[in-house]
Copies of this chain bind each other. A is one copy, B any other.
Amino acid sequence: MQYYPERVLLPPLTTINQAIERAFREHGEGRVQMPAKVYVYFEKGDFRTMPAYLPALGIAGVKIVNVHPENPKIDLPTVMALTVILDPETGMPEAVLNATLLTDLRTGAAGAVAAKYLIPKRAVTLGVIGSGRQAVAQVNAIAEILEIEEMRVWSRTPANADRFGTLFDTISCTQASIERTCDADLLVTTTPSRRPLVRAEWVHEGTHINAIGADAPGKEELDPALLTRARVFVDDMEQAVHSGEVNVPISAGFYTADEIAGTLGEVVCGRKRRKTREEVTVFDSTGLAVQDLAIAALVMEAGEGTELKFP
């Protein structure tokens, strides 16, 4: 069994994007096993357990990931993750990976896959709501597949938005009001908000939104009226209804699961798509265990683990 600590050298983002696209294709074709993630709750946070099997890659395993919002006060990341990989032939544990950075990267890559298939242009204005790790990962992954002509960022804490703007060498970034930030071809929302931040009237025709922040019951970033107006794709139906952007509007009766247009996997497979240039599309990302397996496979192929005795 190998242990893979957090890596300095990682596969190129294009390779990660391609691997994640393949994971979504397999999911869309129904060729994966992926029970919905399971939540356990603590006083100060929670952890989620995400098992899956991706036969096309011959890989199976479980990601275990926490969310503890107060961790930064004691200099620990809010989110930390470990992935355990099993050999499907024998069930033997093959690897344990520090998956904290990998979680950011595979979520960024999902946003890039959604943007690739759901935006009808190759050069875009990009609006970013929130300026944390997920915001950075989205921009980096998306920059691999789209030309970002202009980027605007809004954060509740302006100093964070300033710092965010300095992180990208080749993309110019302006700090803007939330209303102005929403006026974009591609809007990425990455906050842990528990009430809608993005009003429907701020979003123009044809915009695609990657709704990344909502990943637990009670979280939401978008005006429910925006969901009703948009064509909404989710990563996984069961997870999205439970904990994605649509969870609060569905619980409150403002939206129904029947209105969801389909999954990103179905989009990648060509069975679902944006129908007009004018409609607003939303990708509601909760994070799939098969994304974690796909990026773990890349890290394991690159080698560099530490051997641990097992069995």
The docked-state distance in angstroms from the alpha carbon of A205 to that of B279 is: 73
Quick one: which of A6-60 are within 8 Å of B by CB? 6, 33, 35, 38-47, 49, 51-53, 60
The docked-state distance in angstroms from the alpha carbon of A87 to that of B44 is: 11
Q: Is there an interface contact between B62 and A90, defined as CB atoms closer than 8 Å? A: no
In the complex, 16 of the A-B residue pairs with CB atoms within 8 angstroms, ordered by the A residue number, are A3-B3, A3-B308, A6-B309, A33-B40, A35-B38, A38-B38, A40-B52, A40-B53, A42-B88, A45-B90, A46-B91, A47-B51, A51-B64, A66-B91, A74-B90, A98-B309
Of the candidate stretches A76-84, A128-136, A244-252, A280-288, the one touching chain B is A76-84
A residues neighboring B (CB under 8 Å)? 3, 5-6, 33, 35, 38-47, 49, 51-53, 60-62, 64, 66-68, 71, 74, 76-77, 80, 82, 84, 86, 88-93, 96, 98, 100, 306, 308-311
Q: Is there an interface contact between A84 and B66, defined as CB atoms closer than 8 Å? A: no
The docked-state distance in angstroms from the alpha carbon of A91 to that of B74 is: 13
- Contact partners of A61 in chain B: CB under 8 A: 64
- Contact partners of A71 in chain B: CB under 8 A: 90-91
In the assembled complex, the CB of A3 is this many whole angstroms from the nearest CB of chain B, namely: 5
A5, closest chain B residue (CB): B309
- Contact partners of A80 in chain B: CB under 8 A: 90-93, 310-311
In the assembled complex, the CB of A68 is this many whole angstroms from the nearest CB of chain B, namely: 4
Q: Is there an interface contact between B6 and A311, defined as CB atoms closer than 8 Å? A: yes
Known: A49-B62, A71-B90, A98-B309. 7 other contacts (CB 8 A): A3-B3, A40-B53, A42-B60, A46-B91, A47-B60, A80-B92, A98-B310
The docked-state distance in angstroms from the alpha carbon of A102 to that of B39 is: 25
The docked-state distance in angstroms from the alpha carbon of A62 to that of B289 is: 15
The docked-state distance in angstroms from the alpha carbon of A51 to that of B50 is: 10
Q: Is there an interface contact between B86 and A44, defined as CB atoms closer than 8 Å? A: no
The 3 closest A-B pairs by CB, nearest first: A66-B91, A49-B51, A5-B309
* A86-B64 CB under 8 A given contacts A51-B38, A311-B100: yes
- Contact partners of A91 in chain B: CB under 8 A: 42, 45-47, 66-68, 71, 80
In the assembled complex, the CB of A45 is this many whole angstroms from the nearest CB of chain B, namely: 5
Residue of B45, B76, B93 touching A64 (CB-CB under 8 A): B93
* A98-B38 CB under 8 A given contacts A66-B86, A67-B91: no
Residue of B5, B77, B92, B308 touching A306 (CB-CB under 8 A): B308
- Contact partners of A35 in chain B: CB under 8 A: 38-40
Residue of B67, B76, B86 touching A47 (CB-CB under 8 A): B86
A65, closest chain B residue (CB): B91
* A82-B82 CB under 8 A given contacts A40-B60, A49-B49, A64-B93: no
A49, closest chain B residue (CB): B51
The docked-state distance in angstroms from the alpha carbon of A80 to that of B311 is: 8
Q: Is there an interface contact between A308 and B49, defined as CB atoms closer than 8 Å? A: no
Residue of B5, B68, B74, B308 touching A5 (CB-CB under 8 A): B308
